[in-house]
A = this chain, B = another copy of it.
Amino acid sequence: MESKVRVAVIGGSGYTGGELLRLLSIHPHLEITAVTSREYAGKPISLVHPNLKGFLSISFSDLNMDKITEKADAVFLGLPHKVSVKYVPDLVERGMRVVDLSADFRLKNSELYKEWYGYEHPYPDLLQKFVYGLPEIHYEELKNTKLIASPGCNATATILALAPVVASKVVDSNKFVSDVKVSSSEGGAKPSEGSHHPERQNAIRPYDAEGHRHAAEAEQELSLLAKDKIKVSIVPHAVSSVRGALASAHTWGEVDDMTLWKNLASFYRGRKFIRIIRGNIHPYPDPKYVIGSNFADVGFATESRVGRITMFSAIDNLVKGAAGQAIQAFNLSVGLDEDEGLRIPPLRPA
């Protein structure tokens, strides 16, 4: 039997970190060798992630680069943006495989970090070396990289909804508004006024409605596909569920349903985690039916009366929107099938 790829997780105490651990712990070809947490170093992992009690024998450790890289072939970073950028260059220099789940290496144009994230990116050259970790778009490049910048959840939902129609130009509008409905786990594990249960439950609350950061990466990727400058507006809304995000990407044009269906089917042919949703009982995607899995369910609706087209995409924000997709991309980069360790049916009802 071949040996497993040794993986370290830097920043393992948040929800993304926890989800990485959940999925890595059952991956047949990957092995967790270290999990760091500044706050919980020395403490058992199940103290923070009670679901994992019994699954991991190691404890959280401090972020000691030498120690970590000595026993790992690859490092997944589950850190906030502006923090990841402090550690990644060192890891690159040490020749490690890197999967960064923050926004710090997603954008090719370093100017955009000033505009959207409010900081001057210190390593503009390094940006060019990372592959944007959306396997449905960068399948071949991911097979040939050691550096992966894993996409944001709302960007993933928006790109997967719009990619087929933008790439094929079956919709020739440049007015796209992706109205995203997001669950509370998207906000991370840190409590806040807005995440306080009595305030968050039953909310239907728009936020970042003047411009959501994930538009930057969505525009980068969609423009690449369109070979043209694409503009997308993302308007997220907090709803009551804990997991799942739905992008309803509205645009304008005259396309019949059959053309759209064929467009999706052809664009996503062979992609194992895309399911095209169509039919009478469940006519559109609903994140409820991908919970716990790496699937993105995509679909569409048209209202020819007014020339409105809506492209839908439903994901579990912590799996396809974060940890699952990171592993999917990493699988490709180490020569595994993209769905290795990820052939998990969604939970239902949940």
Quote the shortest CB–CB distance from A187 to chain B (angstroms): 8
Closest to A250 in B: B177
Measured in the bound complex, the distance between the Cα atoms of B194 and A284 in whole Å is 13
User: In the complex, what residues of B have CB within 8 A of residue A200's CB?
Assistant: 197, 201
Closest to A201 in B: B242
Q: Is A131 an interface residue (CB 8 A)?
A: no
Quote the shortest CB–CB distance from A299 to chain B (angstroms): 8
Q: Is A347's CB under 8 angstroms from B291's CB?
A: yes
User: In the complex, what residues of B have CB within 8 A of residue A250's CB?
Assistant: 177, 179, 235, 250
Quote the shortest CB–CB distance from A100 to chain B (angstroms): 23
Say how many copies of this protein the assembly contains: 4
The listed residue (B191, B206, B243) touching A349 by CB distance below 8 A is: B243
Q: Is B22's CB under 8 angstroms from A205's CB?
A: no
User: In the complex, what residues of B have CB within 8 A of residue A252's CB?
Assistant: 175
| B-facing residues in A216-258 (Cβ within 8 Å) | 231-233, 235, 237, 239-246, 248, 250, 252
Measured in the bound complex, the distance between the Cα atoms of B281 and A215 in whole Å is 23
Q: Is B198's CB under 8 angstroms from A237's CB?
A: no
Q: Is A191's CB under 8 angstroms from B201's CB?
A: no
Q: Is A301's CB under 8 angstroms from B206's CB?
A: yes
Q: Is A302 an interface residue (CB 8 A)?
A: yes
Q: Is A306 an interface residue (CB 8 A)?
A: yes
Measured in the bound complex, the distance between the Cα atoms of B203 and A70 in whole Å is 40
**Binary B-proximity of A39-70 (CB < 8 A = 1, otherwise 0):** 00000000101111111000000000000000
Measured in the bound complex, the distance between the Cα atoms of B199 and A15 in whole Å is 11
Q: Is A242's CB under 8 angstroms from B206's CB?
A: no
Given contacts A201-B184, A345-B25, A350-B291, contact A303 B196 (CB under 8 A): no
Q: Is A348 an interface residue (CB 8 A)?
A: yes
Quote the shortest CB–CB distance from A153 to chain B (angstroms): 13
Q: Is A205's CB under 8 angstroms from B49's CB?
A: no
The listed residue (B196, B203, B348) touching A51 by CB distance below 8 A is: B348
Q: Is A50's CB under 8 angstroms from B282's CB?
A: yes
Q: Is A93 an interface residue (CB 8 A)?
A: no
**Binary B-proximity of A293-323 (CB < 8 A = 1, otherwise 0):** 1010000011101111010101000000000
Give me 26 A-to-B residue pairs in the complex whose CB atoms sit less than 8 angstroms apart, sorted by A's number: A18-B348, A26-B345, A47-B281, A50-B282, A175-B175, A181-B239, A185-B349, A190-B196, A196-B196, A197-B197, A199-B349, A201-B201, A203-B241, A203-B286, A203-B288, A204-B241, A204-B288, A206-B246, A209-B303, A211-B303, A237-B248, A243-B347, A243-B350, A292-B347, A292-B350, A347-B347
